């Protein structure tokens, strides 16, 4: 029996998990930027829902977060 068989082998390294948490936080931040802008009264239209932040900036941040997640998954650990 090999020594490594008793040790649990993880798919990702510690660095990958840290990068994935950073990517998830970027995605959550993008969704937080996209939220809001609604109206309490259904008969009143609030044009703030179509702000530049919600239409352009937040989706770009979310896409960047997904790209960062892909990078975090495919990053190979350095072998010393």
Measured distance CA(66)–CA(38) in Å, rounded? 26
Confidence at 9, pLDDT banded by 50, 70, 90: confident
Answer with the residue of higher pLDDT: 17 or 44.
17
pTM of the model: 0.81
Measured distance CA(53)–CA(45) in Å, rounded? 18
3-state secondary structure of 25: helix
């Amino acid at each position: 029996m090999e020594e490594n068989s008793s040790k649990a082998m993880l798919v990702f390294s510690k660095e990958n998990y840290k990068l994935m948490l950073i990517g998830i936080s970027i995605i959550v931040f993008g969704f937080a930027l996209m939220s809001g802008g609604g109206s309490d009264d259904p008969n009143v239209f609030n044009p703030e829902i179509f702000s530049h932040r919600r239409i352009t900036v937040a989706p770009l941040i979310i896409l960047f977060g997904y790209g960062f997640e892909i990078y975090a998954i495919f990053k190979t650990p350095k072998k010393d």
